[in-house]
Amino acid sequence: MKLTILGRVSIIVVILFLATLWAFPMWDIQLAAPQYPGGLSMQIWINDLGGDVDIINGLNHYIGMKTIHKEDFNEFVYLPIIMMSFMGLGLVVFILNRKRYYYIWAGLFVCIGLLSFYDFYSWLYDYGHDLDPKAPIQVPGMSYQPPLIGYKKMLNFEALSQPHIAGWFYIGAGVILALVCFYEWKKSKKAAR
């Protein structure tokens, strides 16, 4: 069955939402502490890191965390390729104009999203737990893993991790895909009666 007009329009909207990944950061980690009244931040882009990465690396040295360098993350190479491919597949789905391809495309998005969140969590876990045993500051049993999303207190630092502009658009793209899949399925069911 063919897609409804809403289904076809949603493909273009999702592609435009995902294009924001190259214009804005995906994720934002904010750190606050008494000695940094203005706070520190690190933004994660689809292919880069931004913000106070050098200062954060200097602080992380004291607790034994590895330094954070863009070159250490293969994700900055393959994630842009995956997202461009996904957007290109969206254009193919638009041209083929079939519901089943739309469902497959939306399912692929769910898989990419879940794998991305798992990868990000693993990245945070590794940095927060794989600490240098010779670090100047050691607190037995303490890990310094920032939250994937939300707030966490670590020593005298408060960390807040949340989506940035492109991250919200990414989440919005997922919501649109889910809602339109449901809408298309309901329309198909109604038409079959």
- What is the tens place of the pLDDT at every residue in 49-103? 999 999 998 888 888 888 889 998 899 999 999 999 999 999 999 999 999 999 9
Specify the pLDDT at position 156.
Answer: 83
What is the end-to-end Cα distance of the chain in Å, rounded? 14
Q: What value does the mean pLDDT of the chain take?
A: 92
Identify the helix (H) or strand (E) that includes residue 67.
Answer: none
Q: Per the domain annotation, does 169 fall within a domain?
A: yes
Residue type, 146: P
Q: Per the domain annotation, does 142 fall within a domain?
A: yes
Closest CA to 63 of 157, 151, 134: 134
Number of domains observed in the structure of the chain: 1
Specify the pLDDT at position 46.
Answer: 96
- In which domain, by residue range, is 167 found? 5-188
What would the pLDDT profile of 107-150 be if each residue is shown by its tens digit? 999 999 999 999 999 988 888 888 888 888 877 777 788 888 99
Q: Per the domain annotation, does 178 fall within a domain?
A: yes
Q: Per the domain annotation, does 123 fall within a domain?
A: yes
What would the pLDDT profile of 144-178 be if each residue is shown by its tens digit? 888 889 999 888 889 999 999 999 999 999 999 99
Closest CA to 30 of 157, 173, 155: 157
The β-bridge partners of 157 are: 154
Q: Per the domain annotation, does 171 fall within a domain?
A: yes
The β-bridge partners of 159 are: 31, 152
Specify the pLDDT at position 39.
Answer: 92
Q: Per the domain annotation, does 193 fall within a domain?
A: no
Closest CA to 164 of 41, 72, 76: 41
Beta strands in 4-45 (DSSP E): 27-33, 36-44
Contact, 35 vs 126, CB < 8 A? no
Residue 192 has pLDDT above 80, yes or no: no
| Mean pLDDT along residues 23-36 | 93
Q: Per the domain annotation, does 137 fall within a domain?
A: yes
Specify the pLDDT at position 128.
Answer: 84
